[in-house]
Structure 1
């Protein structure tokens, strides 16, 4: 298995920035001792007959991971400048790899999806029915320490909530903060992305500074992302991926986030970033503590090796249609339409390929 192929999927395994996994995994792979060369040796053997051995070759990490596998990728808004701010799950994505581990599907769940969040005694949360994004917030609460919410703990409750809603076992996952995402893109030298519709930023000015927040909302000049292929810096990529006040709302934002992840993965593979130890270290240093990995007792390298046979071009982006939910005339959140729920049923039943063939509108093309 070549490092290029291994990276192709590792870049799709870890965080909201799957690309992060590629970097971390490649560093781990590079630290492993090289296998003995099978070519001719310049040093004659001490004996014409090699000594017998009973030692068995050590299986590679993750050799026992057979699939199907499901990985939860989360992007969070931590507002680190505000003491005690609880992390919110602003992007919730699932990477599904069927049995055979030769292809993968990436889809999003709306952050405002109305779900049943189970009780979580560790955070003293009794359970309730509310928006999916709140699972991260409620789970992050540390009794007796309001100033230091736990992102890892929040992920644990979010994982349980997503698993209950989708009916899928979550094998591993990762959380990355917005600051970490910004740094990742800049350290990689930016990313080239096809902007599929004109998007006006709600938060940023054209020079990257924040717009002024007044009582009626944000005011001042807006950064605008025009349709076409664009080179985005870290703050631009993050800003573009966060915009949901556009035609299509949060469902358009989900599509843009998926497209951005795929563009980052392709950049890492195409430019050979992970084969350059110095560049790998730069990316890891830039991320610092902005990435939280949760593998259920398995190391990230286990999944990278197990999924190394999935080429980047066999990642299918899927959009699940949804609609708003109201109660008494007031907006409560989002729900998946029957077609979106049927996709989850097909996924659980191992019939995803046939389902997408029958419903090609669910595939994201760009």
Structure 2
């Protein structure tokens, strides 16, 4: 599989926070966000709203999302889809789970390794018999449509969601989103760049200092030095892809989560929420990269339900793991035993207590 895009990550934050931000600047932009983002059935439950509302009234009663209650679990998946190649089989290169606490004011974000060895269940829609393989393959196997070479990404998400549910014990996700490559760069650039704390030196194997492809034009590799930096769209995407570094894919996952939180912070910045023109650019960019399923609720509903979820109240958690080998050959990754306790705490909405007892799992920066 090509390594062109290993991660589609930070627009995931927008799933729960872009629209929360727009709710601060008026109903018109909330309505625009609701219309810009494709909303469809990703879980195979036919629960997604099929038809957008005609418009959001000036003085709604009750407020949209008033019936959304916590705790919530949201599945965010980034795929390496190539929109220009209709037969390209999508893989899940980023899998994140956001748990929002019962009061809807705090959340926890963690990742599952793309190469996590899991049991992918049988899936009749794709004539898939079931197999123990890497998590990333659940998307591509599920996306297969018998009788055609054109994959169906939404169908792939459905099998991936079932696989993640089986692995974590999370019986039902309250919402989900798919993020693709196109639009990510524009999203970060629409934000005017983001402030990121780089926690380890990272030298790109893909881009030079001007953003050109090292494989084609050469030049000096782009280097991200330790410390706070302002990065633009292509740099954010490039940084998110690097996994041949100290800590390998687990470091990449951590950097993904940090980028998500950096975007959250920018989304809630005063400059953005007081500038409707800039915010409209963000909404338009989001519409090019995100597909959403609110399980019967629209994006506008989540915007208002999560309006009190602030970036500083989102905790990033890294679950440790290691490589799995058979006969000297690499099979994939396995998370350590503590993942069972983490997901048990998630299901009981007691992650505050779990994290207090396991502070080393928290990504401080």
- TM norm. shorter chain > 0.5: yes
How many residue pairs get aligned? The number is 327
- Distance in structure 1 (CA, Å) of the matches to 2:335 and 2:193: 33
- Distance in structure 2 (CA, Å) of the matches to 1:142 and 1:360: 44
Q: Which residue of 2 aligns with 1:208?
A: 211
| CA displacement, residues 80-130 of structure 1 (integer Å, 9 cap, x when unaligned) | 344411111111111101222221101111111111111222222221111
- Distance in structure 2 (CA, Å) of the matches to 1:24 and 1:102: 15
For residue 16 of structure 1, report the CA deviation from its aligned partner.
Answer: 4.2
Q: Which moved more, 1:183-192 or 1:26-35?
A: 26-35
For residue 62 of structure 1, report the CA deviation from its aligned partner.
Answer: 2.0
Whether the 8 Å contact between 2:15 and 2:292 is mirrored in structure 1 is no
- Distance in structure 2 (CA, Å) of the matches to 1:219 and 1:83: 30
5 Å-filtered alignment, 1:12-161, equals 16-19=11-14, 22-24=17-19, 26=22, 27-28=29-30, 32-35=56-59, 58-146=61-149, 148-161=150-163
Give the TM-score taking structure 2 as reference length: 0.83
- Distance in structure 1 (CA, Å) of the matches to 2:66 and 2:225: 45
- Distance in structure 2 (CA, Å) of the matches to 1:284 and 1:309: 19
- Distance in structure 2 (CA, Å) of the matches to 1:294 and 1:274: 25
Whether the 8 Å contact between 1:322 and 1:340 is mirrored in structure 2 is no
Whether the 8 Å contact between 1:16 and 1:73 is mirrored in structure 2 is no
For residue 304 of structure 1, report the CA deviation from its aligned partner.
Answer: 2.3
| CA displacement, residues 22-66 of structure 1 (integer Å, 9 cap, x when unaligned) | 44563225863333xxxxxxxxxxxxxxxxxxxxx8322222222
For residue 275 of structure 1, report the CA deviation from its aligned partner.
Answer: 4.4
- Distance in structure 2 (CA, Å) of the matches to 1:15 and 1:65: 24
Match of 2:177 among 174, 178, 190: 174
For residue 140 of structure 1, report the CA deviation from its aligned partner.
Answer: 1.6
- Distance in structure 2 (CA, Å) of the matches to 1:224 and 1:153: 38
Q: Which residue of 2 aligns with 1:192?
A: 195
Q: Match of 1:157, SS?
A: helix
For residue 239 of structure 1, report the CA deviation from its aligned partner.
Answer: 0.7
- Distance in structure 2 (CA, Å) of the matches to 1:210 and 1:135: 30
Q: Which residue of 2 aligns with 1:10?
A: none
- Distance in structure 1 (CA, Å) of the matches to 2:346 and 2:16: 24
Segments of 5+ residues of structure 1 without an aligned counterpart are 1-13, 36-56
Structure 1 93/16 Cα, relative in aligned 2: closer, same or farther at 3 Å? farther
- Distance in structure 1 (CA, Å) of the matches to 2:285 and 2:173: 28
Q: Which residue of 2 aligns with 1:346?
A: 345
Structure 1 20/272 Cα, relative in aligned 2: closer, same or farther at 3 Å? farther
For residue 288 of structure 1, report the CA deviation from its aligned partner.
Answer: 4.5
Give the TM-score taking structure 1 as reference length: 0.83
- Distance in structure 1 (CA, Å) of the matches to 2:363 and 2:82: 31
- Distance in structure 2 (CA, Å) of the matches to 1:118 and 1:295: 24
Q: Which has the higher contact order (CA 8 A, sep 6+)?
A: 2
Whether the 8 Å contact between 1:77 and 1:90 is mirrored in structure 2 is yes
| CA displacement, residues 172-200 of structure 1 (integer Å, 9 cap, x when unaligned) | 01111122211211111111111111001
Structure 1 123/226 Cα, relative in aligned 2: closer, same or farther at 3 Å? same
Structure 1 317/219 Cα, relative in aligned 2: closer, same or farther at 3 Å? same
Q: Match of 1:17, SS?
A: helix
Segments of 5+ residues of structure 2 without an aligned counterpart are 1-8, 23-28, 33-54
For residue 305 of structure 1, report the CA deviation from its aligned partner.
Answer: 1.9
Q: Please provide the CA RMSD for this pair.
A: 2.3
Q: Which residue of 2 aligns with 1:230?
A: 229
Q: Which residue of 2 aligns with 1:299?
A: 298
